[in-house]
Each structure stands twice: as structure tokens, then as C-alpha cells.
Amino acid sequence: MKKIYPDAKAALDGLTFDGMTVMSGGFGLCGIAENLIAALRDSGAKNLTVISNNAGVDDFGLGLLLQTRQIKKMISSYVGENKEFERQYLSGELELEFNPQGTLAERCRAGGAGIPGFYTKTGVGTVIAEGKEHKEFNGETYIMETGLISDLSIVKAWKADEQGNLIFRKTARNFNPMMASAGKFTVAEVEEIVPLGSMDPDCIHTPGIYVQRIIKGEHEKRIEQRTIRERESA
């Protein structure tokens, strides 16, 4: 099965449709599938439910899909960098399902592992727990959270081989591995495609069985908030 595609548009061909659920890897702007997000925007698919740690910034990352009103609902943990997100949510144009960050990661991991639900203490006694099943274990109260799966997962990796085995680099690993495993169909954009057998099997983070298509992308790697020290005078 040939997994390497020439570009993001080709890699998403036949995969997008209105009302689909998309998992988008990344943390802030670190490790996001820049090219695939732009191609998803260009596909015109609308009424999307997007599962992502955050919503990008106003003019980059998932912020591009918010600009075009293609996202109907966000399932995320942090959206504080995006003014358009805030505007759409407060005006009732956008649905939001907030999750504690660790809970969101575990919901994605559980979905990829075929686990329909799990119990956690995080959120007990808060609005997060409203309407959810409560259960006691060893005298402590837990709430049940459900696993998440997506119609499409788009992830960003450092290296891939021809079979889709993936290596993520440092912080860019974040949500990408668990989202890759939780997609019914997963497309990865990478910085480098290497020959099969050239990657140490012990260093592979996501086995190729989870990845159906791969592209090699060019990446801006924008920084959300650049903070620098003032230069000290001599």
C-alpha cells in the first residue's frame, strides 16, 4: 500500500465531508499539521467537530478554520490565544466542550486503545462533572469520561518511513501519538521521509499500522508568544 502523497491536498482527497470529526495534534502552535490544516480549509468541509488541545491563533493553525466558519464545535482544553474563537463562542456561533488537559489526552488515548470510558478524579465537584456518572473507589469519588475517536486525525511528526512509522521530536510529540491512534483514518505530515529500516525500532513513537497517508511538508513553525530579554548594555 503506497502511503506517500505529493501534497496535503492530495492526501486529504476523498477523506473530508461536512459534519466530520477531526483530531488535530499539537500544543499551542508546536507540532501542528500546518499544511493539512490549510488543505482542510481549502476542502470546504463545514460543520466540523474539531478535537484539539487548543484552537491555534487568529490567523494560523486552526484559527484558519475559525475564520472561514468551518468549525461547528471544539473539544479542547485551552483556547485563550484566539480572539475569533472567543467572539464566536460568546455570540453562540460555536459550541465548546471544555476538558482538563490531562483528561483530553487520556480520552484520545482511550479511544485509540478501544476503551469506551474510564474514571478520573479530575473535575469532581466542578462544572466538568455535571451530568456525568459518579462512582466511588476506595472511598474516593470519580467521574466517568468517554474515549474519543475521529473520522480523521491530522498529525505532525519529525520523521516517517514509507510504511508510516513515525518519530516525533521533543515537545512536538504532545498530543500527536494518541490522536494518530484514535483516528479512523490518519494522515501525517512530516519533515523528513527516510528509507524503510533506517529508523531504530526502539525509537518509533507511532507504528505505521495507525497511519494511512504521509506527506513531506514545509513548516513555518510559528511561535505563539515570543518572549526575549532586553539586551544588556556593555
Question: Phi/psi of residue 97, each to 5°?
Answer: -115, 100
CA distance 207 to 163: 9
Q: What is the CA radius of gyration of the chain?
A: 18
Please check whether residue 16 lies inside any domain of the structure: yes
Please check whether residue 133 lies inside any domain of the structure: no
The grid cell for 184 is 479512523
User: Which CATH number do you get for residue 28?
Assistant: 3.40.1080.10
pLDDT at position 233 = 67
Mean pLDDT of all residues belonging to the chain: 94
Please check whether residue 166 lies inside any domain of the structure: yes
pLDDT at position 231 = 77
Q: What is the DSSP letter of 206?
A: B
Residue 221: is its pLDDT beyond 80?
A: no
Whether the Cβ atoms of residue 52 and residue 21 lie closer than 8 Å to each other: no
Q: Please name which of 109, 150, 116 lies closest in space to residue 22, comparing C-alpha atoms.
A: 150
CA distance 43 to 107: 28
CA 138 to chain centre: 34
How does DSSP assign 26-58, residue by residue? -BTTBT--HHHHHHHHHHT--SEEEE-SS--BT
Please check whether residue 174 lies inside any domain of the structure: yes
Q: Percentage of residues in the chain with pLDDT exceeding 90?
A: 84
How many domains, the chain?
1
Please check whether residue 119 lies inside any domain of the structure: no
pTM summary value: 0.92
Contacts of 227 (CB under 8 A, 6+ apart): none
Whether the Cβ atoms of residue 205 and residue 22 lie closer than 8 Å to each other: no
Question: Phi/psi of residue 91, each to 5°?
Answer: -90, 0
Structural domain of residue 25, as residue ranges?
8-112+149-216
Please check whether residue 225 lies inside any domain of the structure: no
pLDDT at position 1 = 67
Whether the Cβ atoms of residue 33 and residue 180 lie closer than 8 Å to each other: no
Average pLDDT of span 179-185: 98
pLDDT at position 234 = 59
Please check whether residue 81 lies inside any domain of the structure: yes
The grid cell for 167 is 518519530
Average pLDDT of span 79-99: 90
Please check whether residue 107 lies inside any domain of the structure: yes
pLDDT at position 198 = 96
